Structures are given as C-alpha cells and as structure tokens.
Amino acid sequence: MTDINFKAEVEARKDALLADLFSLLSINSERDDAKATPETPFGPGPVAALEQFLAIASRDGYATKNVDNYAGHFTYGDDLPEDAEVLGIFAHMDVVPAGTGWESEPYVPEIRDGKIFARGASDDKGPTMACYYGLKILKELNVPLTKKIRFIAGTDEESGWGDMDYYFKHVGLPDPDFGFSPDAEFPIINGEKGNITEYLHFSGENKGAIHLKQFSGGLRENMVPESATALVSGNIANLNAQLETFVAAHADKNLRFEFENMSDGTATITLHGRSAHGASPHTGVNGATYLAKFLDQAGVESPFTKIAGTILLEDHAGEKLGVAFEDAKMGALTMNAGVFNFDDSQVDNTIALNFRYPQGTDSDAIYAVLTGLSGVASVTKSAHEHTPHYVPMTDPLVSTLLSVYEKQTGLKGHEQIIGGGTFGRLLKRGVAFGAMFPGDIDTMHQANEFIPVDVLLRAAAIYAEAIYELAK
C-alpha cells in the first residue's frame, strides 16, 4: 500500500472536498452566549457546524456520535479488536468573531486568486476538511489498518474549551492513545506554551479635563483588538483635531478613526488598528491600547487609560508590565491585551490580559506582579488554564509525522514550540500538525482570512499518508 499516489487521490476528490468545505464555511459558528441554551451550549452557530460535519461523515458511511451538541466524533476501524490502539484526530467547528475590515462577506466563501476567503478557512474548517479527506482516501481505497481512528470535532476551541471538558466526561470511551490536531502549521508543533487570562479590575472613577464615560474594545481574549470605542465628555472642543495629529504621528501603524460630537455634550471616538491572533500580538495593531494612549495624552486621568495606554501599549513580551520571561527551549512569554470594558457608572471595570508562558514561570508568578500595579483594584484569573505541553522528538508520533512531511515536501522537518493553544495538548502524546506551510501568510483571527487551494490539497495528501503511517 505504500505506492499510493496520495496527491493524485486528493486531486481526484478536489471538487468534493471544496463543496464540503464551503458547506461548513457558510455557517456562522461564532460562540454566542446570548443565544446559549441547554441544547445549544455555545449558541446555535457552533451546533449547526457540528451537525453539518457529522452529516458529511454519516453520508460517507461512518457511524457518528453527537455528545449533547458539545462535540462529536466518528470512528474508523470499528471492526478491529476492542483493545486496538486509538489514534485521535482533534478539530473544531467554532470560529472567532468575523469583526470588521473584510473585502467579502466572511460567511459567503469565495475563491479569489487561488485562495478561499472566509472566516474559518484556515482556522480550522479548511484544515479539518483536508484531514477528513485524507482519511476518506484510506477508507475508499479500503487500506488495512491496525489502529482505530477517532475523528473528534469540538465547538468551543476558540474560547474556554468547555466542549472538550464535557466530551471527555460524557462520551463513555477511553481517551485516544495518541493523536494530533490539524490546527496549526507544518512541519509539526510538538510543544505549546502555557495559556492563562488574568483580569485587571478598576473602579469607574476618573478625572481630568476630559471625562471618560465608557470604553470598550476587543472581541475575544485571544484576538488583538482591531478597534475600540470611547464615550467622553468635558473639554472636547479640540478632540477631533487632536485625533488627526495623533494618527498622523503614528502613520506607520495605519490607524483610522471616527469622531462624532453628540447633542448632549459628549463625543464618541472609535480608533481602528489591525487584528491578529493573540498568540502573536506583535503582528497586529492594538486599537484599544492606542485609543487609551490618545485619551491619556488628551486629558483623561484614569488608571484604566494610564495602564492601557502606557504600560500595555506594544508590550508584547510583558517587559513594561514586569512579567517578561524566556526559556531556552520554549522561548519568550507573550502578552495580548484582548478585551477592554469600562463604564464610569460601574464599580468593576476590566482589562483581560492573555498570557502565553513557557516552562519556568507560571500564572501565580504573573498574578503576583499584576497585583502590585498602581491603580488596579484587584486581579483575577480565568477558570481555565493550560500549562506548558511538550512531546519529545524521540516519540514515534513526532518522528513519524516529520518523516511523512519530509517525504512529501522535500523539506527538512524540525520541532516547533508555539504560544498558540491547540487540541493537540489534550493528550499526553498529542501534537498539532499542519495545515500552514513554512512561509505561508498567517491570516488566522484576522479580517480576510484565507487558505490557498493548493495548500489545502497538499495538506490533505500529507494527512492521508500520515494517518496511514501512524495506523498501518
């Protein structure tokens, strides 16, 4: 069976793969807590996408299981002995909010210049379907395997991973023995930093020539805020001109703004930067911290804007914050100031800081520093935390996947450790594998997210051979 031309097999299924992928990309599967019910735990969108994925699997002859709309799976190799090892493949159907700045409708997928544009195209519906078709090839060719494959799709990977917590408690099956997630990049991700969000709490008090009434920015803790909006009062007569000067002074950031004088003597300011994945905050422009910097300079006197606009601004490694740390293997800590909420009528206002930290430090060490910040009333942690994860190069899972990658690409494989968190870390012997290739443009969590069609097809061929080599 080693003489299978996996690339040719993928090409023969190209149209079907794209059609199935488009059916998933057409579903807005953003988490929506306002519409959450016992039947739709993260809102109706993630459930609709999960149901569509399982319908595709059912159509292709798999027996599927939906675990109360939190996650679902199908298994290949049910005819194998009960004690056969299980290879787990972990994907997710939820997406981060589309946000603004799109040149096309985010949930009307389209191909332009050989690229598929849609929210979820690269994270994670595109890679999921590439991997699904890799397994589909083995099934349709009736390739004999000695290990079972359980393909699991979640619905809350982009938020709190409540889907997997529930799935493992209620699925009624042992955990897979080893596995991977098609939700990152090649050649492999065999290490992931720890991940924790910590919240700075502020009172609503502020003073100065300009009074801050409200401030909001950011859609998710793991996204760089593309924009932020503030409602202010007081000495606002020259604010519009000051904004023009501020934006001009930061021309390298390509900031944009909208300013509106209201009839009640207040003004609304919206400042736009550029979104990016929270694991690589340096690739974005944080609209919220830049707006806070402007307000701080313009006359607002508040710990909220002082910290956001001076300490958090461009502090991607946590140096000004005082939490910077670097490990020889896992690299440096990164910090993303992701969500900002302020209302002067409220006693509790927050800034959510998402940290990706290497081995050698931890969330308690970060917490101890944050509690010492002047003007911060208190600090709390998110309920969900991931500690650093690593699978050594000597593990057969890692060496096999790298061997397949090298064979199909002609490129040398090597280990990678990232700040992003994937479902690969759900298993002790779990990694992330593709679908981005070295040199590809990363548009995850950004406007105009895309995946090139040729990347999708190349990845599908690699997944097909990888599953075969792991389970043969």
Asked if pLDDT for residue 26 goes beyond 60, the answer is yes
Contact call for residues 241 and 356 (beta carbons, < 8 A): no
The rounded percent of the chain whose pLDDT value lies above 90 is: 97
* Confidence at residue 23, expressed as pLDDT on a 0 to 100 scale: 98
Asked if pLDDT for residue 1 goes beyond 80, the answer is no
**How many alpha carbons lie under 13 Å from residue 260 in its C-beta half-sphere?**
9
* Confidence at residue 2, expressed as pLDDT on a 0 to 100 scale: 63
Q: DSSP letter string over 74-92? A: EEE-TTS-TT--EEEEEEE
* Confidence at residue 66, expressed as pLDDT on a 0 to 100 scale: 98
For residues 143-150, average pLDDT: 97
* Confidence at residue 421, expressed as pLDDT on a 0 to 100 scale: 84
* Confidence at residue 332, expressed as pLDDT on a 0 to 100 scale: 96
- Please report which confidence band the pLDDT of residue 420 belongs to, taking 50, 70 and 90 as the band edges: confident
* Confidence at residue 376, expressed as pLDDT on a 0 to 100 scale: 97
Domains 6-193+388-471 and 195-381 equal at CATH topology level: no
- At position 59, the amino acid (one-letter code) is R
Residues with Cβ within 8 Å of residue 422, at least 6 apart in sequence: 90, 157, 181, 183, 184, 189, 192, 432
**Nearest residue to 330 (alpha-carbon basis) of 378, 279, 368, 402:** 279
For residues 392-403, average pLDDT: 97
Distance (Å, rounded) from C-alpha 91 to C-alpha 468? 18
Tell me phi and psi for residue 21, to 5 degrees: -65, -45
Asked if pLDDT for residue 268 goes beyond 70, the answer is yes
Q: Which two tokens stand for residue 420?
A: 């992003």
Distance (Å, rounded) from C-alpha 342 to C-alpha 202? 8
DSSP 253: G
pLDDT tens-digit map of 162-195: 999 999 999 999 999 999 999 999 999 999 999 9
Distance of CA 301 to the CA centre of its chain: 34
Distance of CA 11 to the CA centre of its chain: 29
For residues 256-263, average pLDDT: 95
Distance (Å, rounded) from C-alpha 307 to C-alpha 370? 11
Distance (Å, rounded) from C-alpha 244 to C-alpha 426? 48
pLDDT tens-digit map of 56-74: 999 999 999 999 999 999 9
* Confidence at residue 160, expressed as pLDDT on a 0 to 100 scale: 86
pLDDT tens-digit map of 337-376: 999 999 999 999 999 999 999 999 999 999 999 999 999 9
Mean pLDDT of the chain: 96
Q: Which two tokens stand for residue 366?
A: 């970060």
Q: Considering only 28-32, 106-110, 419-423, 426-430, which range has the smallest mean pLDDT?
A: 419-423
Strand order, beta sheet including 115-117: 110-112, 115-117, 450-452
Asked if pLDDT for residue 231 goes beyond 80, the answer is yes
Rounded to a whole number of angstroms, the CA Rg of the chain reads 23
3-state helix, strand, coil split of the chain in percent (to 5) is: 30, 25, 40
Kindly list the catalytic residues.
Answer: 94, 157
Torsion 161-164-167-172 (CA) sign: negative
For residues 377-381, average pLDDT: 98
CATH code 3.30.450.20 for 6-193+388-471: no
* Confidence at residue 139, expressed as pLDDT on a 0 to 100 scale: 97
In CATH, the number for domain 195-381 is 3.30.70.360
For residues 424-439, average pLDDT: 96
Distance (Å, rounded) from C-alpha 117 to C-alpha 310? 36
Distance (Å, rounded) from C-alpha 253 to C-alpha 257? 12
Asked if pLDDT for residue 131 goes beyond 90, the answer is yes
User: What residue segments make up the domains of the chain, in order of their start?
Assistant: 6-193+388-471, 195-381
Helices (H) and strands (E) in the chain, counts: 11, 26
Contact call for residues 289 and 313 (beta carbons, < 8 A): yes
* Confidence at residue 3, expressed as pLDDT on a 0 to 100 scale: 87
